[in-house]
Chain A
């Protein structure tokens, strides 16, 4: 009797967790596996992929989401963050970077909204130079201080108070790659809008 009860207990417990996995991961995986990348979506270049790894390394996703909410759910469109995201937008993304916080703005289309390389580099070096009041961390270790810039170096223009004396600050490999990745974030191409998650009545 005790054996049967123990067996039922363990079986039941195992069944609940397997059911949950099947419903939330297994079945959706099966359904979405057919999705084709949209025509306008480019594969990441090697540099962009490296920039993406810098994005992950520095934990950008803890403050920036990469998902635009559907019409009627929040005001992402009015903030010009782009059209609602669809599963096809993410086919090349591993790991996914959907994010759960908007301490900073959404970056799904940051490459469209802010396409200036110089702006991004200065902003990464110290966000408060271009956005007063920002609480984003500075990332000076992505940059190199040099006595003089080389022919291929991207020099960033700093206010006097932050510029090192007698030296120039140039973008390092990581800063350039991260910027290239940010500029690649452009999901403005048209997609077939399936049924977005908008069942909430306004």
Chain B
């Protein structure tokens, strides 16, 4: 995509080194104004589902510790509340908050006001109704029976139409762009506008049966990450790290390599969820190979992000956005390398079917994706609301509680899950002894989960405050410490 030789291909429009002319400021204000309502609606409903979803999560986790607690309530039994958790946090929180970030980012990167802004009102309504209807259906017992595809078809259809409307506006904004160079974040965004609707519609058609349905299930399950959730996270990291630091991304060409390797390998990964299962050997092997090949795009992205950050680590002391996003991008590297290892047969022999996998999933969706979304919201909201975050102390509390929470959670399940797998593979150990062994780790998981839930309520409280222009008025950005070194973009309107 870079036939034209620009001197600084990573930053031809001065988005990151910042031309600080008044015309630039004006332009950004106009663009932000046009994107305001859709973005805030997506963020707001996303955060609502984050609260609902994480409450489901903590209830599900506590049910491992206290299996008879709420034991007579059918709607709250583990087997219903667990899929309700997954679907609300994925299709509610991560998708909607991600959509908000994409709306704002696309307008900024295309240097044009959001086009077809009105479709987002419809999209938000359909999407939220879809998630609501699907969640109620699961709790009421109408589960489609496949992981990641539990929502009944009518709920799935609402989400699909919502997504298509949302994508139409994004693509139209892209077509009207005022730039001749497309920044890396935009590639991921545009690609996911094509990938995800195809994936979601094919998966929801329900035309398969038996083992092929299992293959389709995990082709979808893993590709939901590949075609939608990971692109959101990477688009965010590629934008906010250089933006806050005030320097362009380390290498444009690594970005290019990373993107196309990502596009080629990621969507062949899914069948590694069925290693050792009753499927043709070659099929599983293909997925393992593709999973290991993911090291290429992951390393390209890792080098790009981390070499942009290196030498600027002290900025992490000041900028909440940077802290969340850099942690998120580090966890992306970690979870991806872990994922490649995990796909290998001798590793799967132990880790598959255990809590280890649950730890891995949360390292990805929480420590990588959600952290980047938190960072993005902390960055975007003051610019849209024209009001600074009133309580920097609460941002700090959110950060440390969520970090401590996910840390405890992932470490407990990784260690506990691994030894669970080792014991399951020792026939001398009775099954119930293995269950007994995991119990202490399942308690640790609940403690970590509780910390995350509390941090989400702190975050949601502050989100309400900034929308209502409530709390103490601040005239400078809410940083962790005053007199920060990043005077440029953090101080821009």
Interface residues of A in 34-49 (CB under 8 A from B): 35
Interface residues of B in 165-221 (CB under 8 A from A): 180, 187, 190-191, 194-195, 198-199, 202, 208-217, 219
Q: A73-B276, A90-B211, A197-B276 are in contact. Are A13 and B263 (CB under 8 A)?
A: yes
B212, A29: Cβ atoms closer than 8 Å: yes
- Please, how many angstroms separate the alpha-carbon atoms of A131 and B284 in the complex? 36
- Please, how many angstroms separate the alpha-carbon atoms of A142 and B3 in the complex? 66
Instruction: Give the segment of A59-67, A114-122, A149-157, A175-183 that binds chain B.
Output: A59-67
Cβ distance A172 to chain B, nearest Cβ, rounded Å: 12
Cβ distance A91 to chain B, nearest Cβ, rounded Å: 5
- Which A residues are closer than 8 A to B by beta carbons? 1-2, 5, 9-10, 12-14, 16-17, 19-21, 23-25, 28-29, 31-32, 35, 56-63, 65, 67, 69-70, 73-75, 78-79, 84-87, 89-98, 100-105, 126-128, 131, 133-141, 195-200
Partner of A28 from B212, B432, B439 at Cβ < 8 Å: B212
Interface residues of B in 250-302 (CB under 8 A from A): 260, 263-264, 267-268, 270-271, 273-281, 283-287
Closest to A16 in B: B263
Q: A62-B83, A138-B67 are in contact. Are A94 and B345 (CB under 8 A)?
A: no
Instruction: Give the segment of B121-129, B143-151, B362-370, B451-459 that binds chain A.
Output: B143-151
Interface residue count for B (Cβ, 8 Å)? 84
- Please, how many angstroms separate the alpha-carbon atoms of A105 and B345 in the complex? 21
- Please, how many angstroms separate the alpha-carbon atoms of A23 and B260 in the complex? 18
Q: A1-B3, A25-B212, A25-B215 are in contact. Are A137 and B78 (CB under 8 A)?
A: yes
Closest to B81 in A: A59
A28, B77: Cβ atoms closer than 8 Å: no
Q: A5-B3, A100-B357, A138-B68 are in contact. Are A74 and B424 (CB under 8 A)?
A: yes
Partner of A32 from B191, B212, B346 at Cβ < 8 Å: B212
A20, B219: Cβ atoms closer than 8 Å: yes
> Is residue B230 contacting chain A, with contact meaning CB distance below 8 A?
no
- Which B residues are closer than 8 A to A by beta carbons? 1, 3, 63-65, 67-68, 71-72, 74, 77-80, 82-83, 141-147, 180, 187, 190-191, 194-195, 198-199, 202, 208-217, 219, 223, 227, 260, 263-264, 267-268, 270-271, 273-281, 283-287, 345-346, 349, 352-355, 357, 424-427, 431-432, 435-436, 439, 442
- Please, how many angstroms separate the alpha-carbon atoms of A1 and B191 in the complex? 20
- Please, how many angstroms separate the alpha-carbon atoms of A200 and B352 in the complex? 15
B191, A13: Cβ atoms closer than 8 Å: yes
Cβ distance A53 to chain B, nearest Cβ, rounded Å: 8
- Please, how many angstroms separate the alpha-carbon atoms of A2 and B223 in the complex? 29
- Please, how many angstroms separate the alpha-carbon atoms of A60 and B264 in the complex? 35
Q: A10-B194, A96-B213, A102-B353 are in contact. Are A90 and B278 (CB under 8 A)?
A: yes
**Apart from A57-B141, A87-B211, A100-B273: 12 A-B pairs, beta carbons within 8 A:** A1-B3, A21-B219, A21-B267, A24-B219, A24-B283, A32-B210, A32-B280, A63-B79, A98-B211, A101-B357, A141-B74, A197-B277
Q: A24-B270, A90-B211, A200-B345 are in contact. Are A59 and B143 (CB under 8 A)?
A: yes
What residues on B are CB-neighbors of A139 within 8 Å? Answer: 74, 77
What residues on B are CB-neighbors of A74 within 8 Å? Answer: 276, 349, 424-425
Which has the most chain A C-beta neighbours within 10 Å: B77, B194, B195, B210? B210
B212, A58: Cβ atoms closer than 8 Å: no
B210, A91: Cβ atoms closer than 8 Å: yes
A102, B354: Cβ atoms closer than 8 Å: yes
B79, A197: Cβ atoms closer than 8 Å: no
Please name 17 pairs of A and B residues whose Cβ atoms are closer than 8 Å in the assembled complex, sorted by A.
Answer: A9-B1, A10-B194, A13-B191, A14-B194, A17-B223, A21-B219, A24-B286, A28-B279, A32-B211, A57-B142, A58-B80, A59-B78, A75-B424, A75-B425, A102-B353, A139-B74, A196-B278
Closest to A75 in B: B427
B214, A96: Cβ atoms closer than 8 Å: yes
